[in-house]
Amino acid sequence: MEAIMSSEYVTIGELVRLTGARYSTLKYYTEEGILPFEQAEGNLTRRYKRMESIERIAYIKNLRDGGKTIAEIKEILGKSKGSGKS
């Protein structure tokens, strides 16, 4: 776990361990475009920026707990991305 905490990038499985979110939930967020990732050319492994992803997952969870739909969250994240917040 210490190596994960010092890495700039993590896998989706490592994000599951770091956030307590379900794998299927994070995969869904990725597919919906609200959890960005990087993928090296020729490599199938998706890599997530550790700190940004942890913060975004917590933010999405708060929005979901507040009753927001995925469509509403996409809109909110799109607006905050445009204003320099994420």
Q: How is the chain split into domains, by residue range? A: 2-82
pLDDT at residue 4, as a whole number: 72
Instruction: Give the fold, CATH level 3, of 2-82.
Output: Multidrug-efflux Transporter Regulator; Chain: A; Domain 2 (1.10.1660)
Q: Are 21 and 57 in contact (CB under 8 A)?
A: yes
pLDDT in tens, 49-78: 999 999 999 999 999 999 999 999 999 998
Over 70: is that where the pLDDT of 81 sits?
no
pLDDT in tens, 19-42: 999 999 999 999 999 999 998 777
Over 90: is that where the pLDDT of 82 sits?
no
pLDDT at residue 1, as a whole number: 63
What are the structure tokens assigned to 86, written together? 């994420």
**Pairwise CA distance, residues 39 & 5, whole Å:** 20
pLDDT at residue 76, as a whole number: 95
Q: Are strands 9-10 and 48-49 parallel, antiparallel or unpaired?
A: antiparallel
